[in-house]
Homo-oligomer: A and B are copies of this chain.
Amino acid sequence: MNDDSISEIEHLIALMAKLPGMGPRSARRAVLHLIRKRALLLTPLAESLGQVAASARECLNCGNVGTRDICGICTDERRANGEICVVETVSDLWAMERAASFKGRYHVLGGTLSALDAIGPEDLRIPRLVDRVASEGVREVILALNATIDGQTTAHYIADQLEDQVQLTTLAQGVPIGGELDYLDDGTIIAALKARKQL
């Protein structure tokens, strides 16, 4: 350290420390590791981040993350089976996809309704969900929201909006109370999906 241009490395550490789960200490370790593995890790990571920065975007239809305006799931006709699975976050969508059991499409809310944080239906792609139910020939909406108070409040709100238009189901209990999808093993997700119940 103590270089005139050391600020480059300090700057990198400061940015790395902003990643979830990282702090100043782990960011320093990560940066030293990267410098030691320049060819194997540092250069490839810099290039990969640049590519993703240039290409990653949210699907205009469902909120999934991909590299096109409309994601691969939304353009895949085999997944137009009349089922939409509503999740809070892209992490939850990825967790569902890893379980590889659900064959329909998704709708990523981007969070939950929250009076405290002043998050209303417009902030959550709920109007877009109502549109999709009408325009995509949806028969069933599976509300795969987290078993938190805000998650369940959001599920009830969506159910109120859609109750005369589609069959509404929710993941079976088996999802632990207070549990978040992203932390569940695949087997639990598969079992909960199979045993889903009418609301």
Residues of A at under 8 Å CB distance from B?
Answer: 1-6, 8-9, 11-12, 15-16, 18-22, 25-26, 28-35, 38, 41-53, 55-56, 64-68, 71-73, 76, 89-91, 93-94, 97, 182
List of B residues within 8 angstroms of A26 by Cβ: 20-21
- Per the bound structure, the CA–CA distance linking A3 and B67 in Å amounts to 7
Q: How many copies does the complex hold?
A: 2
Do most interface residues of chain A lie in helix, strand or loop, or is the interface mixed? helix
List of B residues within 8 angstroms of A64 by Cβ: 1
- Interchain residue pairs with CB less than 8 A apart (6): A1-B71, A5-B68, A6-B67, A29-B91, A35-B52, A49-B49
A86 to chain B, nearest CB (A): 17
A78 to chain B, nearest CB (A): 11
